[in-house]
Each structure stands twice: as C-alpha cells, then as structure tokens.
Chain A
Amino acid sequence: MKFFLTSMFGRETSRGDRRFGLDRIVFLLSLFILIVTVLMPMLMIVVRTFFKGTQPDWALFTRVVMAPENLSAIYNTVKIGFFVTLFGTVLGLFYAWLIGRSDIPMKGLMKALFTIPYMFPPFFGAMAWSLLLAPRSGYMNKWFMQLTGSTSPLLDINSIGGIVFVETCYYFPFVFLQVVSALERMDPTLEESARIAGAGQWYVIRKITLPLVLPAIAAGAMLILISSLSHFGVPAILGFSNNIFTLPTKIYQLINRSAGSFDGIREGAALSILLVAVVVIALYIQRIVLKTGHYDIIKGKSMRPMLIKLRGAKIPLLGISLLSLFVIVVVPLFMIFIVGFLKAYGLPLTLQNLTLRNYEYILGQSKMVRDSIMNSLFLSVSSGVITMFLGVMIAYVVIKVKPRGKGFLEMLSLLPYSIPGLVLAIGVILVWSGAFGINLYNTIWIILIAYIARYVSFAMKSASASLEQVHYSLEEAARSCGATHLESLRDITIPLIRPGMIAGFFLIFLPAMRELTTSVLLYGPFTRTLGVAIYAINSEGNTVQASALATVAIGIIIAGHFALRYVTRDRKGL
C-alpha cells in the first residue's frame, strides 16, 4: 500500500504538467474518501473477526460458523436466494418475451407497471402481504376461513414460501428490464436470417434468440441473487415470528441482542464475512457464466422485429399478465393505503371504520416520526449531493485523467455494489465507534458515512455514463480557444454532464429515502430514519400507523420520481 501511494505521487501524468495540480488533487481526494468510507470498514470486519486485540483468534469464526442456528440461517439464505432467482428469472423472461417479441396489446401500460416494484422497498410489500395473508389476522385468510368454515388459513405468508413470493415480486424486474432492453436493441435480421434458413418460430427462439440474450439474462439473474442474499427487510418482517432466520436477519438479531456490546459486534462481523463469502461465490459463478460470451448484437438499421402472433392465446395471456401485475403491484399498494386509514387493524374494510387519526398521530403527535422524516430528508439530500459529487470526481479520474491506480479507485468505488448493506453498517460501526479516536456512534453522521459508502457505486456508474459521452475533443476545443484546464471543466464539461448529475442525485435520493437495511443497525435514540420508523412501528404491532407512515413515504417517493422524470425529460444529446 505504501509503495502504491509513493508510486502514485512520484509519477508525472502523460497529459502534461499543467493538469498535475487539479487532477492530482481530485484523484487523491476521491481515493482518500473511498479508503475511509469503503475500504477501512471492510478491513475492520476482517481484523475484528480474526484478531482479538492484536492476537490472532480463529476460535470465534469457527464457533460462529459451526453454530447450528447459523448453519440453518445460511441454508435459508441460499434456499431463498435460489428460488427467488429461479422464479424471478422465469417471470422476468416470460414478460420480456411477451413485450419484446409478441403482438400482445397494451405494451406501454405493462411496461410502466413493471417499473413500479422498482420504486418501492420490498419490505412495504412484506407488510402489505402480511396484512392479507398473515395466518390468523390476514384479511384474505379471514375471508377464506369465514367462507369455507375452515380452521386453517388459506396461505401462510410467514414462511420461506412467503418470503420467496414477496422477494420475487420485487426483484423480477431486474431480469425483465435487462432482457427487454437486449431484445429491443437486438438486430432483427439475426432472427430473420434463421427463419429464411428454414427454422420455425420456436426453433429460432431456442437456438438464436435465447443464446443471444443469455448474457442479459445472466446479468439480471445475478442481480436478483445478490439482492436476495443480502436482503434484510422481507425476511425480517415475515420470518421473525416463525423463527425463520436468514444471514442478514441473524446478523441484525445478534447485534440487536448484544445491545452494542463488543462481543456481539464481533460475532456479527464474523457472520458478515460468511455472508460476503456467499455473495462472492455468487459473483464468481456470474463471471464464469458471462465469460461464455458478450456479443455485439446491436447493428444494422433499426427495423421492427417480426412479432410473433399469439392468435387465440392473446386474450388469455393478456388476462394473465394484467392479473399478475395487478396482484404484484396494485394489491399491496392498495392494502397499505387503505389500512393506513383504518381505526384498528383487523376491522372490516368498510367506510365507517376509516379515520384520519393515524395521520394525525404520525404527523402531529409523534415526535419520533417527525424526527425520522426530517432525518431521512436530511440524510437523503446530503448523501445525494455528496455522493453525486464524489461519483463525478471518481468517474472523471477514471475516464478522463486515467492515472496509474485508476483500476484500484474504480474497484473501490464499485465494491459497495456487492457488499450487503448490513455488512457495510457493521464495518462502519467498527471504524467509527472510537477505534480511531472518533466516536460517531448514535449520531446521524455515522449513518451519513454509511449511506455515502453504500451509494457511491450508483453515483459513479451514472456519472461515468454521462462523462463518457463528452468527447475529448470538446474539452480540447475549449483549451485551443484559450481556456485553462479549470475553465474548460467549468464551462464545458460540467454544463454538459449537469443533467446526468441531477439524475444521479435522484438515483441516490430515492433509495436513501426508504433505506432500512443499513440504518436499522446504525440508528440511535434520536436518529431513526423513515424506514426504521416504519419498521419499528410495524414490529411493535401498530400496523395501522405503520401503514399510514408507509403511505407518506410512498407519496414522497412518487413525488421524487416525478421530479426525476421532469429533470431527465429532455436531455440534450451530445
């Protein structure tokens, strides 16, 4: 590391000394921030797990890994991850094909509906479905038992199956969006030439279309797998009551039970390593799969692909699609919305049982809730601004300056993408609770640091995308007109990527607004976030208030999305 740094300081850039000052400062600053926010937490987890003070200590890790309850948590995590990935991929693929290659009507509407699960956190879905399908109190189960006189519920959402169902509903768009965009960009003559060669529709799908979109499928499936493996909210809401634990919920339970004691955190750190290991294995498998090919399938004149006529199956398939979208998207949102107006959970959904009291309580009387909204707004805006600028700096260094060590910087900035939020939170606790003389535990700043680390990958990716479109010659033209390096950045590059920066801000602001996984480990008595508040109220059993607050959150998220739409509505082409 030391050698690495000196070699960086010692080297002149190939693009001339003039650039040395500013570019070098930007490079070192972003490197410093990433080392502090991303690398150090990760290192601390490893250090604390395998060292007690300064002595190596393997006993803790072996004990934690071998504990039967942890083994069963691993088993559950992998099992849920596997089935969510399987079902999510099949579902996403089916809809992608339907919209990309069949002549089904109402494609625009369906595409719009498919992006809705993207907007809301899956734990809202878990809340909504447990309102409907909790074994005894769920509305649907109650109706079923009343109608049939049965004493056993129709379905039990508090089960592995329930967790798989809810996560699938929220994660299948990963595959759907990847594959639909691959299908839309694909050169239609690739399929047409197979038809001319004598192959029928299904043969072409099997031998040409599927293999060509395989990389997109693999990428989407892997996103589902990683998200599911490190997901906290859904298993926490649906699993705790039935003692179903996954690795993330187990880590949460350990830390929570230990009430901040050092041994508890160490145990959590050891489990985190296990979780990271599972994710790394998944990523490794993805690399093997993706190695089989990354094809250039975007070529030729844009022509409409030949759509497959569904004929008699058109109406039934349309019915199935709309119904499933209704169940996945509309039903949960409606449940949360309506229950938020209910006098008490469990009352029949009739007009005289509705009230505004819950909103009065959460928005007026409860200081905790008001604080949590303010905290989340503060955290989302500040982490959005800071991370967006950090992302621009990193992308600028990686794409334009290209110093030695850019690979390391890029790797650091993309690392949080694959680190579960819970693991990141533990690392941040280990670094910022006095280990280096600074104790931020229980303050809002520790959450801010964690958010920055968590979202820097998003910011970096979105900034790279817009920076890559600013061709060298644009900046060079400014320099040739007599502008200094700084002036060409200020007057040419920054204005050109400004729309991308604003969009990047919202891409952080929106998920940060509903964040649960990281903040649930980091919040203190006065630093609850909106996600934590909803989660806490819900697990205390105040279902109606939790639903009302979730509705407020949904309102803020929707407003944010409209703002994002407005900002990105007419990007200037470069």
Chain B
Amino acid sequence: MSKITLKNVTKEFVTRGGHRVTAVDNFNLEIREGECFSFLGPSGCGKTTTLRMIAGFEDLTEGEIWLGDKPVSVKSKNLYVPPEERGLGMVFQAFAVWPHLNVFENVAFPLRVKKTPRDELRERVMTALGHTDLQGAEKAYPSDLSGGQQQRIALARSIVTNPRVMLLDEPLSNLDPKLRESMRFEIKALQKKFNFTIIFVTHDQSEAMALSDRMLVMDLGRIIQVGTPREMYQNPSNKFVYGFLGLSNFLKVRVREGRVFPAEGTVQPIPFELPEGVSDGEGLLASRPNEIGLSRTEGTGYPGRIEKRLYMTFCIEYHVNIAGQVIRVHTPHGNVLPEGCGCFVQFRNPRWYAGESEQVELERIERQVI
C-alpha cells in the first residue's frame, strides 16, 4: 500500500518582511504504487516544499496528505505524523551523510534507531552496501570518498530499511554529468529490485523525462500539467511547459483572417493550421530547433536569412532571421549553408500559444527574490 495522495495541499509562508507567500497552492495529486513520479519546475516553484510536506518537515497550511490508506498530515483534524514515524526513505541534494560516522555506521543508523539485533543489522547493512557498489568501503569515512560514493552511502542508507516510498530531492545535481547519468540507471535498477514508489524532485527536464513513469510540471506553486513524459513532450498544455521540456523558439506572430503573419506589414503568411476558435490578434508560434527544416530551394518554406552558424557536437546550429525575429535551427551535420545567405524555413510541428501575460513573469521574478 504505497500510493500517495495529496488533497488540496496549500502551504503559505510569512517572509521576514511580513509578506504572505503561497509556496504551494491547492495541490491535488495521486501517485500510484510502484510509480516513479517526478516533480519538475524552476527554482522557487514549490516542488521541494511539496516534497518536504510529504516527508513531514513542513506542516501544511491547508489540506491533507495520505501515505497508502494512512493519513499523515490532515490540517482540519490537526493530525501530523513526525518524519521519523512516516517510514520513508529520502536522499538529499547535499548527500547529508554524517561526517562523524563511517560508511557502515551511516548505513546502519536507521537500523540502530530501531534496535535491530546485531547479526541481522550487519547482514542488512552489507546487503545494502552490495546493492550500491560500496562493498569494502564500510570502514571509510565520508570525507575520504568522492561525491558519487557519498551519494551511494545516502542511497544505501535509505534502502536499508526497505521503505515503500523513496523521496529524492535533486539527488543528482551535485554530481558531474557522467556520474549523473550512471546514477540515474542505478536508481531505476534499485527501484525495479525493491519495487518502491519514487518521488523525484528536479529542475532538470531530461533527468525527469528519462526516469519517470509520470511527471508534473509546477510553476508559481501550482501544478501546470500532469502526464507521462511522452504526453507532456508531445502535447505541452501551455507555453511554459513547452519551454521547460526542451529547447524552443517562440515566434511572435499576428493572426489576420485565420492566417499567421510573423510581423505587421508582411504579406506572406506562415503555413500553419490554427486551432479552432483563435480570433485575430497576437500570439506565439512555438517550435523546437530540431523540428525545423532549412533549405535554399524556393517555395519549400518561409523565407529567412542565416545570420550565424555554430558547429556543435551533435548538430549545426543556425540563427535564422525571420522578418526581424531570430530563431534557432538545429540540423544534422552534412550539407552546410553559409552565413549571410537567404534560406527557406519549414516548421514541421509548430504549436500555437496565446501570449503569456507579463504579470506572470513579474510574479516569478518576485518569488525568486524572496
């Protein structure tokens, strides 16, 4: 029984200046048993606060949280189960391994708290160390070990009690990129083996997409979209999600009589089928750099001019000027277009979004300052 239910969860903070900030706003979610679920969002969006409320480090302002069929935080009944009684595993961004205990004692700590008999304790610690590739290091102190190894200690420590739910608070962001990738697989493999439910908090979209069965994107304390990585990538519900889940171009456009123009006064429309019910006015045409075709053949797309060309490891990046706006285009290495030449741009899978108001942008800046 390890599904996790959040009902109307709200968290308000009062800042030093006396302002009330809603860090998490009416959050409703059910995470299924055995699922790997990611919370994705920019810093200050409330994802860590939500995780800390599930862990029991923060009280709720409103709402309730259930682990399985057991309530752990119910504000209306003033019920609050402290973190040590929730039976969770957790891994922190800064590892949080104890420098005064050696590897064995770090991993043994949760068992010692539970007064586990000596032989059983030893066996379970050694098993956990085995699963995390730490055999032979049990006498070492954390300061002797690398960042990756320290994070393995934290991982071993969190699985040693065989918890049903594992909370991961940006566990990979203090590691270098290569290590990060291999740790991703290890976490996934551990989950397969022990079949626990994972909540994974991150601001790295590729990490979230690679790891999760389902995920959500948060912004300003609110859930913007929930779904599988595939659904989210292919069908982002708004500009923010689109921008957050990959590289993106947002072309400012004007709609006149059902046709899309990149600027006032241009006569040639961009070939694009507007969704139902879009009336004349301004909007954004979103496209991914690798979903844009580029050629010199007349009539294959919208005319533009190549301003800059950059060689990258996996593609060539062009900065293409379209009626005064610059977009990025990624093409495979191969035939190369020179800088300064005219070209034709073909949007393969563009999406239409109404422009996000400036008010939201302002609010985001304010929250980051606080």
CB neighbours of B154 from chain A (8 A):
193
- Asked whether A190 and B96 contact (CB < 8 A) given A196-B89, A197-B109, A198-B113, the answer is yes
- Are A297 and B99 interface neighbours, CB within 8 A? yes
Quick one: which of B55, B57, B96, B113 contacts A199, CB cutoff 8 A?
Answer: B113
CB neighbours of B109 from chain A (8 A):
194, 197, 199, 207
Q: Mark B94-123, 1 if CB is under 8 A from A, else 0.
A: 111111100000000110011000000000
Tell whether A306 is near chain B: CB-to-CB under 8 Å: yes
Quick one: which of A196, A198, A300 contacts B94, CB cutoff 8 A?
Answer: A300
- Are A193 and B157 interface neighbours, CB within 8 A? yes
Most interface-central of B56, B57, B82, B158 (chain A CB within 10 A): B57
Q: Mark A196-214, 1 if CB is under 8 A from B, else 0.
A: 1111100100011001101
Q: Report Cα–Cα, A200/B56, bound state, in Å.
A: 13
- Asked whether A192 and B84 contact (CB < 8 A) given A198-B114, A296-B143, the answer is no
Query: Nearest Cβ distance between residue A185 and chain B, in whole angstroms?
Result: 13
- Are B92 and A189 interface neighbours, CB within 8 A? yes
- Are B99 and A195 interface neighbours, CB within 8 A? no
Tell whether B260 is near chain A: CB-to-CB under 8 Å: no
Q: Report Cα–Cα, A196/B161, bound state, in Å.
A: 11
Could you tell me the dominant secondary structure of chain B's interface residues? loop
Which B56-90 residues sit within 8 Å CB-CB of chain A? 56-57, 82-90
- Are B84 and A199 interface neighbours, CB within 8 A? yes
Quick one: which of B83, B89, B90, B93 contacts A300, CB cutoff 8 A?
Answer: B93
Q: Report Cα–Cα, A203/B113, bound state, in Å.
A: 8
CB neighbours of A214 from chain B (8 A):
100
Q: Report Cα–Cα, A297/B85, bound state, in Å.
A: 26
Q: Report Cα–Cα, A571/B98, bound state, in Å.
A: 34
Most interface-central of A187, A196, A207, A300 (chain B CB within 10 A): A196
- Are B94 and A299 interface neighbours, CB within 8 A? yes
CB neighbours of B87 from chain A (8 A):
198
Q: Report Cα–Cα, A199/B88, bound state, in Å.
A: 12
Q: Which residue of B lies closest to A194 (CB)?
A: B109
- Are A295 and B99 interface neighbours, CB within 8 A? yes
Tell whether A293 is near chain B: CB-to-CB under 8 Å: yes
- Are B114 and A192 interface neighbours, CB within 8 A? no
CB neighbours of B85 from chain A (8 A):
198
- Are A189 and B113 interface neighbours, CB within 8 A? no
Q: Report Cα–Cα, A214/B98, bound state, in Å.
A: 13
Quick one: which of B84, B89, B158, B167 contacts A195, CB cutoff 8 A?
Answer: B84
Q: Report Cα–Cα, A198/B82, bound state, in Å.
A: 9
CB neighbours of B83 from chain A (8 A):
192, 195-196
Quick one: which of A198, A203, A212, A300 contacts B98, CB cutoff 8 A?
Answer: A212
- Are A208 and B98 interface neighbours, CB within 8 A? yes
- Are B82 and A189 interface neighbours, CB within 8 A? no
- Are B90 and A196 interface neighbours, CB within 8 A? yes
CB neighbours of A301 from chain B (8 A):
93-94
- Are A189 and B84 interface neighbours, CB within 8 A? no
Q: Which residue of A lies closest to B170 (CB)?
A: A301
Q: Report Cα–Cα, A198/B87, bound state, in Å.
A: 7
- Are B100 and A212 interface neighbours, CB within 8 A? yes
Looking at chain A, what size class is its interface with the partner chain? 20 to 34
Q: Report Cα–Cα, A415/B100, bound state, in Å.
A: 31
- Are A197 and B110 interface neighbours, CB within 8 A? yes
Query: Nearest Cβ distance between residue B130 and chain A, in whole angstroms?
Result: 19
- Are A187 and B96 interface neighbours, CB within 8 A? yes
Q: Report Cα–Cα, A192/B83, bound state, in Å.
A: 8
Q: Report Cα–Cα, A208/B98, bound state, in Å.
A: 8
CB neighbours of B88 from chain A (8 A):
196
Quick one: which of B92, B113, B161 contacts A192, CB cutoff 8 A?
Answer: B92
Q: Report Cα–Cα, A297/B96, bound state, in Å.
A: 9
- Asked whether A197 and B157 contact (CB < 8 A) given A192-B83, A299-B94, the answer is yes
Q: Mark A429-469, 1 if CB is under 8 A from B, else 0.
A: 00000000000000000000000000000000000000000
- Are B82 and A192 interface neighbours, CB within 8 A? no
Query: Nearest Cβ distance between residue B55 and chain A, in whole angstroms?
Result: 6
Query: Nearest Cβ distance between residue B45 and chain A, in whole angstroms?
Result: 15
- Asked whether A197 and B98 contact (CB < 8 A) given A189-B92, A296-B143, the answer is no
Q: Report Cα–Cα, A214/B158, bound state, in Å.
A: 26
- Are A196 and B143 interface neighbours, CB within 8 A? no
Quick one: which of B56, B89, B98, B158 contacts A190, CB cutoff 8 A?
Answer: B98
Q: Which residue of A lies closest to B92 (CB)?
A: A189
Query: Nearest Cβ distance between residue B53 and chain A, in whole angstroms?
Result: 13
Q: Mark B242-279, 1 if CB is under 8 A from A, else 0.
A: 00000000000000000000000000000000000000
Q: Report Cα–Cα, A456/B329, bound state, in Å.
A: 65
Q: Report Cα–Cα, A297/B113, bound state, in Å.
A: 22
Q: Which residue of B lies closest to A204 (CB)?
A: B84
Q: Mark B31-67, 1 if CB is under 8 A from A, else 0.
A: 0000000000000000000000001110000000000
Q: Report Cα–Cα, A296/B94, bound state, in Å.
A: 12
Query: Nearest Cβ distance between residue A505 and chain B, in whole angstroms?
Result: 33
Q: Report Cα–Cα, A498/B44, bound state, in Å.
A: 38
Q: Report Cα–Cα, A300/B93, bound state, in Å.
A: 7
Q: Which residue of B lies closest to A196 (CB)?
A: B90
- Are B96 and A296 interface neighbours, CB within 8 A? no
CB neighbours of A211 from chain B (8 A):
100
CB neighbours of B98 from chain A (8 A):
190, 194, 208, 212
CB neighbours of B158 from chain A (8 A):
196
- Are B94 and A187 interface neighbours, CB within 8 A? yes
Which B146-189 residues sit within 8 Å CB-CB of chain A? 154, 157-158, 161, 167
Q: Report Cα–Cα, A301/B86, bound state, in Å.
A: 24
Query: Nearest Cβ distance between residue A208 and chain B, in whole angstroms?
Result: 6
- Are A200 and B100 interface neighbours, CB within 8 A? no
Q: Report Cα–Cα, A207/B100, bound state, in Å.
A: 10
Which A285-330 residues sit within 8 Å CB-CB of chain B? 293, 295-297, 299-301, 306
Q: Report Cα–Cα, A194/B113, bound state, in Å.
A: 9
Q: Which residue of A lies closest to B107 (CB)?
A: A197
Query: Nearest Cβ distance between residue B128 and chain A, in whole angstroms?
Result: 12
| Top 4 A-B pairs, shortest CB-CB distance | A300-B94, A197-B110, A295-B99, A189-B96
Given known contacts A193-B96, A296-B99, what 4 new A-B pairs fall within 8 Å (CB)?
A192-B96, A193-B157, A198-B110, A198-B114
What are 22 sample pairs from A and B whose C-beta atoms fall under 8 A apart? A187-B96, A192-B57, A192-B90, A192-B92, A193-B90, A193-B96, A193-B97, A195-B82, A195-B83, A195-B84, A196-B55, A196-B88, A197-B110, A197-B157, A198-B110, A198-B161, A200-B84, A296-B143, A299-B94, A299-B95, A300-B92, A306-B57
Taking Cβ atoms with an 8 Å cutoff, the residues of B that contact A are 55-57, 82-90, 92-100, 109-110, 113-114, 143, 154, 157-158, 161, 167
Taking Cβ atoms with an 8 Å cutoff, the residues of A that contact B are 187, 189-190, 192-200, 203, 207-208, 211-212, 214, 293, 295-297, 299-301, 306
